[in-house]
Amino acid sequence: MKKIIVLDTTLRDGEQVQGVKLNLYEKLKIADQLKNLNVDIIDAGFPAGSTQDFKSVESISKKLGSYTAISAIARAVKEDIDLAYKCLRFADNPLIHISIGASDIHIEKKLRKTREQILIQSSEAISYAKRLCNNIQYSVEDATRADFNYLWDNIENAVKAGATIINIADTVGFGLPEEFGDLVKKINYNLKNLNENAILSVHCHNDMGLATANTLAAIKNGADKIEATINGVGERAGNAALEEIAMALKVRDSYYNAYTSIISTELKKTSRLVSYIMGLDVAANKAIVGGNAFVHSSGIHKAGAIKSRDVYEIIHSEDIGNEESDIILTMHSGRSELKDALSKLGFEKLADEELNKIFDKFQEIVELKKEVYDYDLYYLIESIVDINPDLGDEIIEKRKNLYELVELQVISNSIFPSASVKIKRGDKTYKKSSIGNGVVDALYTAIKEVAELEVDLREYKISSISKGKEALGKVTINLSYNKKSYISRAIDTDIIKASALAFINALNNIIMDKNK
């Protein structure tokens, strides 16, 4: 089976997305997670682009250059190449990436040169870079709109000058899978005849939604290396999504006879981090990492998935490290799903009569609440205590440690944003007030003081749903002592209340985890 080299370009091409500018700390944080994801090469940036870019490529090379190969891009000019090497020299495996347009549109309209001038410029640039660094990647930009004969001359010229990797860039997402596959096949045949050690790489953009399909077609036709970004972020419609390619190769490895070294259980975490730092939401239906990617909604699908997950799942959410442990029941949830959720909480032996009664109650509350979480199930079970009194003690015991928001008040101002909460636990009621950097910070500090659980807030998100009438709060907290993560959510018409409830729900998840 062939190993496909994965270059992640989230910090270079990905950062070119409209409105995103990452600082050094943010880039290092993403780079560190890319290391955990086990990408083969981190494309750290464009050192000639700005002093900040220079500094971040330099820092990434210093901090991560002994774990992962690091690349930096340069135009085919000495100044860019010098700057790239100046940053990359701290890495054990530096890769200078020189890029130039290969289509007539790029050559004539953007570069205002002739085809011959480009050949001279690129071979001079590659020979110069080769004196500094052994590994040179040469990208032919807009290759899918280039004349094939010239494209090949250009590639041959680059290999003869010392390029070790040839990167076919579908810069504007013009390629189609079959056609792109054929192009890669032809180039690969010529390239391996010219130099069997040369590496063929592809870089696809997503303007027609085909970046992943094109990348996979390239792998099927001989590409040795691929370039992609987390969540598919990048210029315009973005780049090929790394998580999609990695999982397609994992699920269909025998078809491609290929694999990557990506640690798939780090995918979700990486996606969340990139989304959070870049401030770019991942669409709910985004393949692999979208919020709904593993949620079965229709009754028939849910019932099938409960019988056997393989009925409707080709990937399990834990394969990508999904931490979403909450079972969320909605208006679409049927009796068998409710039964499954109850049995996971330990209520396995319910009689039909009991289940019917609980289901009736469930339909009442789901109408009001929209989503029913694990701890709500205790309240549902209460509805059958009259017919099964034995359950009473068990519920009281399990419920008494859970927190319940009674009231809250926040004061928003620029000097002392503050929050007060009243929270019930069992038969005790607690009140706390706190100040913070903002009202949500104050609110969370007050709740944490009540809970007396050592937790760190890892992620907080509030978004509008149901045409802006309601807010969905989502939080991820870590238990400080073992870093175990708990994700939770809550819906309310008030954004502050949704935020508070989401946090309290996450604390309850910790308690319920202990109960289990």
Q: Which of 128, 51, 54, 130 is nearest to 88 (CA)?
A: 54
Residues 6 or more apart whose CB falls under 8 angstroms from that of 326 comprise 373, 374, 487, 488, 489, 505, 509
Select from Zn ion, ligand KIV, none the partner in contact with residue 139, using the beta carbon and a kind-dependent cut-off of 5 to 8 Å: ligand KIV
13 or 58: whose CB is closer to ligand KIV?
Answer: 13
Residues that bind ligand KIV (CB under 6 A): 13, 73, 99, 139, 141, 167, 169, 171, 203, 205
Minimum separation from the CB atom of position 138 to ligand KIV (A):
10
Contact assessment for residue 158 and residue 127, using Cβ atoms and an 8 Å cutoff: no
27 or 205: whose CB is closer to ligand KIV?
Answer: 205
99 or 212: whose CB is closer to ligand KIV?
Answer: 99
Strand boundaries in 224-362, DSSP class E: 225-228, 258-259, 329-330
**In the Cβ-directed half-sphere of 185, how many Cα atoms lie within 13 Å?**
11
Select from ligand KIV, Zn ion, none the partner in contact with residue 141, using the beta carbon and a kind-dependent cut-off of 5 to 8 Å: ligand KIV
In the region spanning residues 176 to 205, those forming contacts with Zn ion, defined by CB under 5 A, are: none
Select from Zn ion, ligand KIV, none the partner in contact with residue 474, using the beta carbon and a kind-dependent cut-off of 5 to 8 Å: none
Please state, in angstroms and as integers, the Cα–Cα distance from residue 143 to each residue in 108, 148, 203, 233, 362, following that order. Answer: 14, 8, 10, 21, 58
Q: What is the DSSP letter of 173?
A: S
Amino acid letter, 167: N
Minimum separation from the CB atom of position 44 to Zn ion (A):
15
Task: Tell me if 170 contacts Zn ion by CB under 5 A.
Answer: no
80 or 376: whose CB is closer to Zn ion?
Answer: 80
Minimum separation from the CB atom of position 65 to ligand KIV (A):
21
Q: How far apart are CA 490 and CA 373, in angstroms?
A: 9
What single string gives the DSSP state of each residue in 1-49? -EEPEEEE-TTTTGGGSTT----HHHHHHHHHHHHHHT-SEEEEE-TTT
14 or 65: whose CB is closer to ligand KIV?
Answer: 14
Task: Tell me if 8 contacts Zn ion by CB under 5 A.
Answer: no
Please state, in angstroms and as integers, the Cα–Cα distance from residue 40 to each residue in 82, 104, 309, following that order. Answer: 24, 33, 32
Task: Tell me if 15 contacts Zn ion by CB under 5 A.
Answer: no
- Stretch of 11-19, 84-92, 372-380, 485-493 contacting Zn ion, by CB under 5 A: 11-19
Minimum separation from the CB atom of position 247 to Zn ion (A):
22
| 239 conformational bin, left if phi > 0, alpha if psi -120 to 50, beta if neither | beta
Minimum separation from the CB atom of position 22 to ligand KIV (A):
17
- Stretch of 9-17, 327-335, 352-360, 416-424 contacting Zn ion, by CB under 5 A: 9-17
Please state, in angstroms and as integers, the Cα–Cα distance from residue 171 to each residue in 140, 228, 270, following that order. Answer: 9, 13, 25
Specify the 3-state DSSP secondary structure of 84.
Answer: helix
Instruction: Produce one character per residue of 339-360: b if its CB has 16 or more CB atoms within 10 Å, e if not.
Output: bbbbeebebeebeeebbebbbe
Minimum separation from the CB atom of position 179 to ligand KIV (A):
18
Size of the site for Zn ion (CB under 5 A): 1
Q: How far apart are CA 27 and CA 64, in angstroms?
A: 12
139 or 164: whose CB is closer to ligand KIV?
Answer: 139
Select from ligand KIV, Zn ion, none the partner in contact with residue 99, using the beta carbon and a kind-dependent cut-off of 5 to 8 Å: ligand KIV
Select from Zn ion, ligand KIV, none the partner in contact with residue 418, using the beta carbon and a kind-dependent cut-off of 5 to 8 Å: none
Task: Tell me if 319 contacts Zn ion by CB under 5 A.
Answer: no
From the list 13, 43, 319, 340, which residue makes contact with Zn ion (rule: CB under 5 A)? 13
Task: Tell me if 142 contacts Zn ion by CB under 5 A.
Answer: no
Q: How far apart are CA 300 and CA 466, in angstroms?
A: 25
Select from ligand KIV, Zn ion, none the partner in contact with residue 296, using the beta carbon and a kind-dependent cut-off of 5 to 8 Å: none
Phi, psi (deg, nearest 5) at residue 489: -145, 165
Select from Zn ion, ligand KIV, none the partner in contact with residue 40, using the beta carbon and a kind-dependent cut-off of 5 to 8 Å: none
| Binding residues for Zn ion (CB under 5 A) | 13
